């Protein structure tokens, strides 16, 4: 069993001279803050017009099957493909207390950890029952026994339980009928809501814009996930000839269009919905790295601006493109540290919740890397004051719905609260080093002091400077004529 790292065991690092507090090679806190934003974004499930047999041209997530038995390898690798399983833990209590809504479902439970928790909407249970009924009706239409669905769940129960490391503390500590029924109902719910049975969505009477808003929020929570092995098993029963390829259709594209333009086929082996989102937000050039392990604290955006660094907003490339900007984590430093290009970030409850849960996914699965944590560490430090947020808003890099820039800055500064940051996994290491070299260059420091000093805003200072330049020019001209007259006198000593 892979070991979970407890965020409470980490301690803050001490500051150094790297433009702020440094990041130790060991894991350390990158404190920064959170409360939920007032705006809610409604996302509707859109049914595709084509049949599922034609879904080969649609977005595909090829979720390869996990092993039939738990490997003895301590790194928990899958048998056959050497890919480590993406494990699911219960969210630590201290994190849940800080922002409960960001980690506990309010509408629908998926998986064992929040099964029948208090406060969940009764409508979600009715929706699940209708989804199971739709899938069973489809099986009967194919002349298959509806009981085959539950039998299929029993056959993959051992595989599914491998994903949950805290299964003993859930309502299903032991194998049995109840766990299989949970897999069946939650799996059918995902099959329907992910539009995998696009021709059956019209028979669901519960779904509304309000329902769609809250189930979308809940299925992205880290401890509210169901392995894709369940979704794939149900899909194979309905479409035996699809060979395990599960089309995710237009729902995923629409749900993540503000964060990525990649095709869903890019992630490949995603274990569940949140893992797939994590793969879609992976930087285009995640392998770039700087020299050494040193990464200091990012300076504030206003500090960079005072040192003649320009911030530019970059639009995400068109879908399926091969450009440098395919997702929000594609931050680039150009022109030897003089230009920073950042894709637009819409700061709203959805983006806050998504980033927080993706960071938690990285905390609990070391093999996934830390690109989301590194991105959040960057944006939370660059935009940590109202002046920084104001600058980035003017540049079109940040869009928020808070009452003022100060509240937005406070929220961003706590984005990484209770999250462990490991600088060894920071894909922006080379970018930080390039910016730091620019900011420490004596020539750029002198240029910035001379031409961007705050006193230049005073018109009297400007007039005084112009007068001083004029006097200096006159003195130079006078000196030149004096020297010229002296040389002429030496050439003609007899002339008076």
Q: How far apart are CA 373 and CA 361, in angstroms?
A: 10
Q: How far apart are CA 232 and CA 238, in angstroms?
A: 10
Please give the structure tokens belonging to residue 38: 């007032």
Q: What is the pLDDT of residue 77?
A: 54
Contact yes or no for 226/219 (Cβ under 8 A): no
What angle in degrees, to the nearest 10, is found between the helix axes of 429-440 and 442-451? Answer: 60
Is pTM, for the whole model, over 0.95?
no
Q: How far apart are CA 364 and CA 362, in angstroms?
A: 5
Q: How far apart are CA 360 and CA 89, in angstroms?
A: 10
Can you say whether residue 160 is alpha, beta or left, with left for phi > 0 and alpha for psi between -120 and 50 degrees? Answer: alpha
pLDDT digits (tens, 9 = 90+) for 418-427: 898 888 888 9
Q: In whole angstroms, what separates CA 360 from the centre of its chain? A: 11
Helix (H) or strand (E) holding 130: helix 122-141
For the chain, the structural domain boundaries read: 40-280, 301-450, 458-488
Q: Which residues of 279-310 are buried (b: 16+ CB within 10 A; e: fewer)?
A: bbbbbbeeeeebeeebbbbbbbbbbbbbbbbe
Backbone φ and ψ of 399, nearest 5°? -125, 125
pLDDT tens, N- to C-terminus, the chain (496 residues): 444 344 343 433 433 444 443 333 333 434 333 333 333 333 333 333 334 344 333 333 333 333 333 343 444 554 444 467 889 998 888 888 777 888 889 889 999 999 888 777 788 888 899 899 999 998 988 888 888 999 999 999 999 999 998 888 788 888 889 999 999 999 999 988 887 665 554 456 566 777 777 888 899 999 999 998 998 899 888 888 766 566 665 567 677 888 888 776 544 578 899 998 998 898 887 666 655 667 889 999 999 988 889 999 988 876 555 667 889 999 999 888 889 999 999 998 889 999 999 999 999 999 898 999 999 999 999 999 999 999 999 999 999 988 899 999 999 988 998 898 888 888 999 899 999 888 888 776 676 666 665 566 677 777 887 899 999 999 999 999 898 888 878 776 666 5
DSSP 456-491: GGSHHHHHHHHHHHHHHHHHHHHHHHHHHHHHHHHH
Q: How far apart are CA 199 and CA 348, in angstroms?
A: 32
Contact yes or no for 101/107 (Cβ under 8 A): no
Helix (H) or strand (E) holding 212: helix 209-218
Residue 255 DSSP SS3: helix
Residues 6+ apart with CB under 8 A from 310: 338, 339, 340
Q: What is the pLDDT of residue 5?
A: 43
Place of tokens 């799996």: 187
Rg from Cα positions in the chain:
29
Place of tokens 């000593």: 493
Q: How far apart are CA 240 and CA 171, in angstroms?
A: 32
Please tell me what DSSP assigns to residue 40.
Answer: -
Residue 418 DSSP SS3: coil
Q: What is the pLDDT of residue 185?
A: 94
């Amino acid at each position: 069993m892979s070991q979970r790292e407890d965020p409470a065991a980490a301690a803050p690092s001490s500051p150094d001279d790297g433009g702020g507090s440094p990041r130790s090679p060991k894991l350390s806190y990158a404190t920064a803050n959170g409360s939920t934003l007032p705006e809610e974004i409604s996302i509707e499930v859109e049914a595709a017009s084509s049949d599922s047999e034609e879904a080969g041209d649609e977005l595909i997530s090829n979720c390869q099957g996990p092993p039939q038995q738990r490997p003895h390898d301590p790194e928990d690798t899958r048998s056959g493909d050497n890919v480590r399983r993406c494990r699911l833990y219960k969210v630590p209590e201290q994190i849940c207390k800080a922002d409960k809504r960001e980690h506990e479902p309010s509408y629908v439970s998926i998986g064992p950890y929040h099964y029948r928790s208090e406060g969940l909407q009764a409508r979600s249970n009715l929706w699940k029952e209708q989804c199971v009924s739709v899938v069973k009706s489809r099986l009967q239409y194919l002349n298959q026994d509806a009981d085959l669905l539950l039998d299929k769940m029993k056959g993959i129960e051992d595989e599914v339980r491998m994903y949950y490391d805290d299964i003993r503390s859930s309502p299903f500590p032991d194998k049995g009928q109840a766990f299989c029924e949970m897999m069946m109902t939650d799996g059918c719910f995902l099959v329907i809501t992910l539009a995998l049975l696009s021709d059956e969505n019209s028979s669901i009477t519960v779904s509304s814009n309000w329902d769609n808003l809250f189930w979308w929020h809940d299925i992205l929570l880290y401890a509210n996930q169901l392995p894709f092995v369940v979704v794939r098993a149900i899909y194979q029963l309905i479409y035996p000839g699809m060979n395990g390829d599960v089309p995710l259709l237009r729902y995923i594209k629409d749900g993540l269009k503000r964060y990525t333009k990649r095709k869903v086929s890019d992630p490949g082996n995603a274990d569940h919905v949140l893992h797939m989102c994590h793969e879609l937000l992976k930087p285009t050039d995640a392998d770039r790295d700087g020299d050494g392990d040193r990464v200091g604290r990012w300076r504030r955006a206003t500090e960079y601006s005072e040192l003649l660094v320009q911030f530019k907003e970059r639009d995400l490339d068109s879908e399926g493109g091969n450009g440098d900007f395919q997702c929000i984590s594609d931050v680039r430093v150009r022109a030897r540290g003089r230009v920073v290009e950042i894709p637009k970030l819409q700061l709203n409850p959805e983006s806050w919740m998504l980033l927080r849960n993706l960071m938690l996914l990285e905390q609990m699965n070391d093999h996934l890397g830390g690109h989301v944590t590194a991105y959040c560490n960057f944006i939370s430090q660059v935009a940590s004051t109202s002046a920084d947020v104001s600058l980035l808003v003017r540049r079109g890099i940040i869009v928020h719905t808070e009452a003022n820039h100060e509240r937005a800055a406070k929220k961003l500064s706590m984005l990484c609260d209770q999250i462990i940051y490991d600088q060894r996994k920071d894909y922006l290491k080379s970018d930080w080093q390039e910016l730091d070299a620019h900011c420490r260059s004596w020539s750029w420091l002198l240029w910035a002091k001379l031409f961007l000093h705050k006193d230049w805003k005073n018109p009297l200072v400007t007039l005084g400077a112009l007068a001083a330049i004029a006097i200096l020019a006159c003195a130079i001209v006078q000196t030149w004529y004096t020297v010229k007259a002296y040389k002429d006198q030496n050439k003609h000593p007899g002339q008076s």
